[in-house]
Amino acid sequence: MFKNHIKIAWRGLKMDKMFSALNILGLSIGLTIAILLFSFISFEKSFDKQYKSYSDIYRVLVNTTGDAFDKEIMATAPAAVAPALKEELSAVKYAARMLQHSFGETAFIKANNNNFIEKRLFWCDQELFSIFDTKFIKGDPASAITRPNTVVLSKSAAEKYFGTIDPMGKTIKVDDKTELEVTGVFEDFAKNSTIDCNLIASFSSTYFSKEPSWSNSSFETYVQLKDNASKVASENQMQQILDKNVDKQGQWYTLSLQPLSEVHLYSKDYTSTYTSRIGSISEIKNLSFLALLILLIACVNYMNLMTARSQKRAKDVGINKTLGASSKSLVGRFYAETGLLTLIALCIGVVLSIAIIPIFNTITGASIDYKFLMAPSFIIGVCIVWLVTTLVAGSYPAFYLSGFSPSAILKSANRTVSNAVIRKALVVFQFTASVVLIVGVLVVYQQLEFMKNKDLGYKPQNVIAVSTAAIKTYNKKQALANEVKKLSSVIEVGSAQGFPGMDVSGRSLHKNDQDENGKNIQTNVADASVLEVLQLKLLAGKTLPSVKQEGDTLVDVVLNKKAITYLGLTPEEAIGKKVDMQLGDNATIIGVVDDFNFESLHKPIGAYAFHNSRFEGKPYLLVRFNSASVANTMRQLESAYNKVATDSSFDYTFLDKNMEQLYEQDRKTAKVGLLFCLLAIFVACLGLFGLAAFTAEQRKKEIGVRKVLGASVLGITQMLSADFLKLIAVSIIIAFPVAYIIMQKWLETFAFRISIGWLVFFVAGMCAVIIALITVSFQAIKAATANPIKSLRTE
Amino acid sequence: MLLELNHIYKWVQSGGQKIFLLKDINLKVEEGEFISIMGPSGSGKSTLLNIIGMLDVFNEGEYNFLEDSVHNLKEKHRSNLYKQYIGFVFQAYHLLDELTVYENLEMPLLYKKYSSSERKALVADMLDKFNIVGKQNLFPSQLSGGQQQLVGIARALISNPKLILADEPTGNLNSKQGEEIMEIFKELNKEGVTIIQVTHSEKNAAYASRTINLLDGRQV
Ligand SMILES: Nc1ncnc2c1ncn2[C@@H]1O[C@H](COP(=O)(O)OP(=O)(O)O)[C@@H](O)[C@H]1O
Ligand SMILES: [Mg+2]
């Protein structure tokens, strides 16, 4: 019987080629998206599972308590935490700290007489390799980085730095200062590993290992608990350890443990992690929802086209029933038919997915590879998708059609099987979803445009930050600045600790002694000219002094308006006042600049200060240039740099590009949204096209009669299109409030955002109408221009 | 006695009004009879045939088929009954377009769960009997109307029914093809199959041993 079902289904497919093609195309698209998303989700969920001790590994989180940090949770802990836990907490088997080079900066590496830029150099405790079982190709994981000034390289880093030469025992030089001996080579970390170091140097080489403090919270700390050790009990003990080492006043945080299983997907809001691989569970949820929506639209399409053919189907059902078929066997038959069709679509979907994976990887930033498609979990997943699609898409034809009474077809008056209402509802559903997606895409693009063009309060365009971390002496840095200043295309230069768009030192600003918590403030050590380079607007006072006497303990501070507003001062009042912001007793406000967006527009503007204390260095040279010839300017800058810093390579950042980087996630959302939107509309159009074809076919005779009686082609086209337009109108009416609510929610993730205007709805509505009209009128015109005699004769 | 209809009424509700399709039909059919039903278009012939075939329900009256009271039977039993005893032949042939002649004949046997070897034997018999062995691999669209109706009859007969119900079986055929079909019916009737046919042709009606005339849903 089953073989027979399949045979009939297969012949049916071949006989009705257009319907089959529309169906398969729609389902293939839906399934392709589902497969891609499924592989993306499994990839994201597979993170870190390769580590043997997966379930026993935790990251130490620092939960800040004061208001100054807005209850920020940090993924990095003080350097004293790991040794203390290892020592005093019996449940801890291993503990390791990781510090990215210079708290997250680029390292300049000299190896084998070549200069390299390395973004993923870490200083780590040796137990890291015990926690995350790392395969060593050369050297011994148990001892490789126990000594100071040793380093191990990933296989690809070893190839990059040393080519075919054996790196063991060789030295590399970091930032033209520190020499490290290579003591091992390890297999690259997998793409789905949160740990993503290229170079791992011994933590004992660093200053922090000698005097680990309980306050500088900059070290990503992982621990492995002993088998069956309880997380909660360990956390309680951690509090006791904290109490023992830090007095209550000094405790601005509590410690907690985050299971490794949550590190990748549930850490989006935690700050200062060093990994470049941060996933987001909400992204996964949104994508899954969109994928399901498209799959559902494709299934609806299928049901729609199936019911459109129900007249022929009704006849089949009737005949089969008189021949003795039970409803059950007919349900089986329709499922077999759907299953066959979805199987074909699935095969196409798999092939398409494989073709699309590279594009998908670039859009989403994922790194799914083809091997992944062979994994048993993936194959099982695809089978589940196939089964579910078949069940959903097949349900309607199976149960609706198999219920037909056989006598219906035996009646001489061949009554039309009326399921118009359901068909209309299905079309409305598809178009509602499409219009919602169109509105969504338009709003996302408007917001992105808005962010691109918003006046940020400073001008990041045509400013470049050249990293000078590898230049050792002040004189050399000064020489570089002078050299650069001489270039004709350069307008202004200034050194600074950082620039807007990157994290600088966080401190807290206090109104007075009673104000214990204070307000979080970003502080940036800068030259006098930096205000000019960034083109900030000075509201009162003046910029930082250009020279500062050696040994001068006075700290000059330029605050932004947010900061002085917090202090309860006007710009004019603020000038000359002393300020308590962890910069010593002699910090004095000498200038006030207008607020500017130094973080992404997701966040409201906070307090910011430029100052000239000597607590931090100034590893960036900010250069404003005129835009006439960027390439030429870059060449000149590089040669100036190489003249001064002979031992390191030229590394730079464009400030505006860096700003855009902050919206990477949003742009990703926009791109994925656009892609899905187009596909959804396309699939919906396939359905509409099929339906229009069906209607035209059904009304062939009527159209013939009308034409014989003198109806014009235009009149008939209008008549056929009008019905569909009504449906589209209903979809639009339903879609608008839904889209508004969803997009308003999305916009609320931005502190600076557009308001949704009526124009968006107008455009989305028009798009839907025009697309639908084109789809439908194609069929309508074909029907209207057909020779009426022909259509009348065929009856 | 094969079947018996007593005071059968069928009506439909239309705008609060009862429209009678059949009024007070009384009919006894013995095994081996050949009956024609005649009457103008819309007089209720098909409706009556469908009720006899248990494809349609009636509103009042009694219907006994062999030992069973059809009016008291559940849907499931009723369909089992017609599957077992009744074969249908249609004016529009109603062959399954996606299936070959062979497969069309095989279909009822599949539904009745015959074994594969039994199916083969029975289909081969039928192909032989109706002289369509050469056509077994063709699709319905490749046959003439008369040939399609032959297949339709062969399919109705394949599971060896007691009763054949034929609604204008020759309606779409020319007179020569119609005559051939009637000859086949005559043959089958001789072999003991009961036949009830609806027809508009006096000549075809004459093949039957008895004719029932309908007018506006009533026997005349
Ligand atoms: N379900 C129904 N609802 C309303 N009228 C029906 C229905 N079924 C049949 N009829 C009407 O009943 C009459 C008898 O139909 P039918 O038995 O098909 O006539 P015929 O004798 O031509 O085969 C016709 O007028 C037909 O339109
Ligand atoms: Mg009739």
pLDDT in tens, B43-95: 999 899 989 988 888 999 999 999 889 988 887 788 788 888 998 888 888 88
* Rg, C-alpha atoms of chain A: 34
Q: The tokens of A754 are what?
A: 């557009």
Distance separating alpha carbons of residues A527 and A576, to the nearest angstrom:
19
Q: Which atom of ligand 1 is nearest to the CA of B39?
A: 21
- Report how far residue B175's alpha carbon sits from residue B200's, in angstroms, rounded to the nearest whole number: 12
pLDDT band of residue A417 (cuts 50, 70, 90) is: very low
Q: Helix H segments across A646-712?
A: 655-661, 664-698, 700-708
Closest CA to B169 of B191, B153, B156, B188: B153
**How, if at all, do strands A217-225 and A57-64 pair?**
antiparallel
Cα dihedral A604, A607, A612, A613 in deg (nearest 10):
-120
Q: How far apart, in whole angstroms, are the C-alpha atoms of residue A437 and residue A764?
A: 9
Tell whether ligand 1 has an atom less than 6 A from the beta carbon of residue A328: no
Neighbours of A340 (CB within 10 A): 18
Separation of alpha carbons B68 and A7, rounded Å? 38
Contact between residue A607 and residue A509 where contact means Cβ atoms under 8 Å apart: yes
Res. A408 pLDDT band, cuts 50 70 90? low
* Pocket of ligand 1 contains residue B50 by CB under 6 Å: no
Cβ–Cβ < 8 Å for A740, A781: no
d(CA B44, CA A600): 80
CB B10 near ligand 1, within 6 Å: no
Is B58 in CB contact (< 8 Å) with chain A?
Answer: no
**Looking at the complex, does the CB of residue A45 fall below 8 Å from at least one CB of chain B?**
no
For residue A50, how far is its CA from the centre of ligand 1 (angstroms)?
Answer: 72
B1 Cβ closer than 6 Å to some ligand 1 atom: no
CB contacts, 8 Å: B96 with chain A: 8, 316, 319-320
Cα-to-centroid distance, B213 and ligand 2 (Å)? 13
- DSSP one-letter string for A11-31: HHHHHSHHHHHHHHHHHHHHH
With H, G, I as helix, E, B as strand and everything else as coil, classify residue A199. Answer: strand
Decide: A639 and A427 in contact? Cβ < 8 Å. Answer: no
Q: Which residue from A316, A325, A410 is facing B55, i.e. has the nearest CB?
A: A410
Q: Is the pLDDT of residue A795 over 60?
A: no
Q: How confident is the model at residue A790 (pLDDT cuts 50, 70, 90)?
A: low
- CB of A642 closer than 8 Å to CB of A650: yes
Residues of chain A contacting residue B99, judged by C-beta atoms under 8 Å apart? 8, 11
Nearest-atom index, ligand 1, CA of B14: 4
In percent, how much of chain A has pLDDT > 70?
Answer: 95
Question: Quick one: pLDDT band at residue B34, thresholds 50, 70, 90?
Answer: very high
What distance in angstroms lies between residue B23's CA and the mean position of ligand 1's atoms? 13
The most distant pair of C-alpha atoms in chain A lies apart, rounded to whole Å, by: 109
* Lookup: tokens for A707: 């034409």
Rounded Cα gap, residues A687 and A699, in angstroms? 18
Identify the DSSP state of A397. Answer: I
> Alpha helix (H) ranges present in A153-230?
155-162, 207-210
Residue A409's pLDDT band (boundaries 50, 70, 90)? low
Does pLDDT of A416 surpass 60? no
CA of B198, closest CA in chain A: separation in Å? 12
Which residues are CB-neighbours of A444 under 8 A, at least 6 positions away? Answer: A666, A669, A670, A673, A743, A746
pLDDT band with cut points at 50, 70 and 90 for residue A418: low
pLDDT value at position B35? 96
Higher pLDDT, A249 or A465: A465
| Torsion sign over Cα A354, A355, A361, A364 | negative
Report how far residue A310's alpha carbon sits from residue A117's, in angstroms, rounded to the nearest whole number: 67
Q: Is B66 on the interface with A (CB under 8 A)?
A: no
Quick one: DSSP state of residue A255?
Answer: E
pLDDT higher than threshold 80 for residue B152:
yes
Smallest CA–CA distance, residue A1 to chain B, in Å, is 7
Q: State residue A356 phi and psi, 5-degree precision.
A: -90, -20
Give this prediction's pTM.
0.72
Nearest Cα residue to A229 out of A63, A78, A50, A95:
A95
Q: Is the pLDDT of residue B211 over 90?
A: yes
A586 at interface of B, judged by CB pairs closer than 8 A? no
Q: Which of B21, B23, B58 to mutate to test the pocket of ligand 1 (most atoms within 8 A of CB)?
A: B21
Tell which residue, B127, B88, B85, B83, has the closest CA to residue B106. B127
Least confident of A113-127, A349-363, A491-505, B143-157: A349-363
In chain B, % helix, strand, coil (3-state, to 5) comes to: 40, 25, 35
The C-alpha atoms of residue A314 and residue A419 are separated, in whole angstroms, by 12
Contact predicate A509/A579, CB 8 Å? yes
Q: Does the pLDDT value for residue A451 go beyond 70?
A: yes
% residues pLDDT > 90 (chain B): 58
The residue count for chain B: 220
Which pLDDT belongs to residue A789?
64
If we measure between CA atoms, which residue out of A133, A142, A155, A147 comes closest to residue A199? A155
The answer to whether residue A550 scores a pLDDT higher than 70 is no
**pLDDT of B217 over the 90 cut:** yes
Characterize the bridge pairing of strands B210-215 and B34-38.
Answer: parallel
| Residue A614 clears pLDDT 60, i.e. is over it | yes
The answer to whether the CB atoms of B94 and A315 lie below 8 A apart is: yes
Q: What is the DSSP letter of B133?
A: G
Helix axes A327-364, A17-45, angle to 10 degrees: 50
Q: What is the mean pLDDT of residues B152-162?
A: 89
> Residue A788: which residues within 8 A CB-CB, separation 6 or more?
A703, A704, A705, A707, A708
For ligand 2, the distance from its centroid to the CA atom of residue A412, given in whole angstroms, is 5
Residues of B in contact with A405 (CB under 8 A): 55
Highest mean pLDDT among A455-464, A566-575, B32-41, B167-176: B32-41
Across the interface, do A15 and B97 touch by the CB < 8 Å criterion? yes
How far is Cα A278 from Cα A47, in angstroms, rounded to an integer?
A: 10
Among all residues of chain B, which has the CA nearest to that of A324?
B83
Residue ranges and CATH numbers for the domains of chain B are 3-219 (3.40.50.300)
Which two three-digit tokens encode residue A367?
């790194």
Contact A233, A242 (CB under 8 A): no
Spell out where A503-599 has E strands. 505-509, 519-525, 538-541, 555-560, 587-593
Decide if the complex's ipTM is over 0.85. no
Helices (H) and strands (E) counted in chain A, each on its own, are: 25, 24
Answer whether B98 sits within 8 Å of A329, measured CB to CB: no
| Residue A319 contacts B, CB cutoff 8 Å | yes
CB-based contact B90 A11, cutoff 8 Å: no
Q: Which of A66-70, A392-396, B166-170 has the lowest mean pLDDT?
A: A66-70
Question: A-chain residues within 8 Å CB-CB of B53?
Answer: 322
CB contact under 8 A, B167 and A406: no
For ligand 1, atom 10: residue with the closest CA: B21
Residue A311 confidence class, pLDDT cut points 50, 70, 90: low
How far is residue A583's CA from residue A505's CA, in Å, rounded to a whole number?
11
Q: Do A11 and B55 touch (CB under 8 A)?
A: no
Q: At what angle do helices A17-45 and A2-15 cross, to 10 degrees?
A: 110
| Closest C-alpha to ligand 1, atom 3 | B12
DSSP of A94-114 = EEEEEEEGGGT--EEEEETTE
The answer on pLDDT for A413 being more than 50 is no
> Higher confidence at residue A646 or residue A273?
A273
Distance from CA of B156 to the nearest CA of A (A): 8
Establish, for the pair of chains A and B, how many residue pairs have beta carbons separated by less than 8 Å.
55
Higher pLDDT, A375 or A32: A32
Q: How far is the CA of B220 from the centre of ligand 2 (A)?
A: 18
B47 C-alpha to ligand 1 centroid (Å): 7
CB neighbour class for A190 (10 Å; exposed up to 12, middle 13-18, buried from 19)? middle
Point out the ligand nearest to the CA of residue B37: 1
Q: Across the interface, do A410 and B97 touch by the CB < 8 Å criterion? A: no
Q: Cα(B130)–Cα(B133) distance, rounded to whole angstroms? A: 8
Interface membership of A15 toward B (CB under 8 Å): yes
Q: Measured between alpha carbons, how far is residue A336 from residues A387, A528, B104 in Å?
A: 11, 77, 19
Which pLDDT band holds residue A680 (cuts at 50, 70, 90)?
confident
Residue A395 burial (CB count, 10 A): 16
Is any atom of ligand 1 closer than 6 Å to the C-beta of B41?
A: yes
For residue A61, what are the β-bridge partners?
A256
> Is the model's pLDDT at B22 over the cut of 90?
yes
Q: Is the CB of B199 under 6 A from ligand 1?
A: no
A310-322 helix and A281-308 helix, angle to the nearest 10 degrees: 70
Which residue in chain B is spatially nearest to A326 when comparing CA positions? B111
Tell whether ligand 1 has an atom less than 6 A from the beta carbon of residue A232.
no
Nearest protein CA to atom 2 of ligand 1, as residue: B12
Residue B27 β-bridge partners: B5
pLDDT at A791: 58
Checking if the pLDDT of A792 tops 70, the result is: no
Q: Tens digits of per-residue pLDDT, A128-154?
A: 999 999 999 999 999 999 999 999 999
Q: Is 70 exceeded by the pLDDT of residue A571?
A: yes
pLDDT, one tens digit per residue, over A55-82 is: 999 999 999 886 666 678 999 999 999 9
Query: Reduced to 3 DSSP states, what percent helix, strand and coil does chain A have, rounded to the nearest 5?
Result: 50, 15, 30
What are the tens digits of pLDDT across the range A253-275? 899 999 999 999 998 888 888 88
Ligand 1 centroid, distance to A67 Cα (angstroms): 83
Residue from the list B46, B88, B112 with its beta carbon closest to the beta carbon of A322: B88
Closest CA to A221 of A171, A252, A255: A255
Instruction: Flag if A320 and B111 touch (Cβ within 8 Å).
Output: yes
pLDDT band at A414 (very low <50, low <70, confident <90, very high): very low
Ranges A487-496, A629-638, B6-15, B192-201: which has the least confidence: A629-638
Report the residue from B50, B95, B112 with minimal CB separation from A407: B50
Query: Once rounded to an integer, what is the mean pLDDT over residues A194-206?
Result: 93
What is the secondary structure of A36-95 as a DSSP string?
HHHHHHHHHHTTTTTSTTGGGEEEEEEEE-SGGGTT-EES-EETTHHHHHHHH-TTEEEE
Question: Shortest CB distance from A322 goes to which of B46, B55, B112?
Answer: B55
Determine phi and psi for A118, rounding to 5 degrees: -125, 120
Are the beta carbons of A91 and A282 closer than 8 angstroms? no
H runs (alpha helix) in B86-191: 101-111, 116-129, 145-157, 175-190
Task: Give bridge partners of residue B8 from the DSSP assignment.
Answer: B25
Amino acid symbol at A554: L
CB A552 within 8 A of CB A586: no
Radius of gyration of chain B (CA): 18
Q: Are B60 and B8 in contact (CB under 8 A)?
A: yes
Supply the pLDDT for residue A410: 54
Q: Which residue has the higher pLDDT, B147 or A309?
A: B147
- What secondary structure letter does DSSP report for A248? G
